[in-house]
Structures are given as C-alpha cells and as structure tokens.
Amino acid sequence: MPSAKPEVEVKIAVTSAASARKRVLGAGFTVHIPRVLEVNDVYDFEDLRLRTQGKVLRLREAGKIRTLTFKGRSRDTRHKVREEVETTVAQAAVVDRVFRELDLAPVFRYEKYRTEFTCDSRGVVTLDETPIGVFLEIEGPPRWIDRTARQLGFGPQDYITASYGILYLEYCRELGIKPSNMVFGRKR
C-alpha cells in the first residue's frame, strides 16, 4: 500500500561529512539506516510538464530497495512542504517500461550517499554526500525541524528548500558548465 503524507523538510549545506556526522551523533542521534548509495531517476514527459508544474516522479534504488515516489508542488514557506506519495517496487525495470509506454522518460539522474539518523519517532536527519557538496536534511514537523536545527547549531538563515535538481543547476551555472546528470565521476 503506498503511503501519502506531507513531506516537511529543509536542507543545510555543511563543510564535511565527517564533521556533520560527529555533530549529529553528538546531539544524541543514532544511525537508523547506514550509508548507502542512492541512484535517483527523475521521469517526465518530453515537454517537461511535470517539472513546469513543480511536480516530481522519481524511481530510486538504494541498495536492494527500489522506491517509486511522486512529489507534488511545494508550498512557499520557511520549510519545504509538499505532498509525497511513495511505495516500494519489486522490479524497477517493469516500472521503467510502463513509464516509457506512457511517454515518460528519465530526464535527470542524481546520486548521493545517504546516512539516516533518528533520535525519536518525530523526524529524521539524513547526511547526504552528493557530487555538488554535503548536506544535512532535517525532515519532520516544523517545530521539530527548527528545534533539531538549533540543537545542531543551525538556524532558519541556513535553511535550503531547493531540490537537488535546482541546486545542481545553480552549481553548474556558477562553474560555467553544461548541466547533465548529478553523478559521481561519470556521465550517464
């Protein structure tokens, strides 16, 4: 059964994975899901209508787990708030085939190494090591996010609500390089 829930989160850019991990563990969090490579394929129509509408259709592979996710348009608040519907899938190749039959195709691939931390049942902190930098992502109820950010030494001025796709485009623009896929050391 797919789960549907509002996703509430912020990203925070950090200088290194090691210092961020130390900070999160020092705040009483424990590793809930060990570090794993995530490969994310974002699907859209040729005219990019999902992107234009602020929606995301993603197929993720993280270790042996494959997850299909739909994300609705973000609401403009201090935290990124959007509908999220997701379910695990047994065969990503079958989902890819169905999408292609519906004229959907992968338009962007991004990779990250993710470690997930928990302290209580209200939210999670993830450490995302990406080709464009290292980020903490804090997800949960808004007050929990703000309290956790403060506990980790950050505040609302540090919050990033942009997607990794947008952050990647900004990164490419700053470096004057042509965007393709946000992957480690190779093009796909």
User: Structure pTM?
Assistant: 0.92
Architecture of domain 3-175: Beta Barrel (2.40)
Find how far residue 130's CA is from the centre of its chain: 10
Helix, coil or strand: residue 95: helix
pLDDT tens per residue, range 104-122: 999 999 999 999 999 988 9
Per-residue confidence (pLDDT) for residue 28, from 0 to 100: 96
For residue range 11-47, list pLDDT tens digits in order. Answer: 999 999 999 999 999 999 999 999 999 999 999 999 9
Cα separation of 43 and 92, whole Å? 13
Average pLDDT, the chain: 94
Please, which pLDDT band fits residue 187 given cuts at 50, 70 and 90? very low
In this structure, the strands spanning 30-44 and 65-71 are unpaired
Give the residue from 85, 80, 101 showing the smallest Cα distance to 145: 80
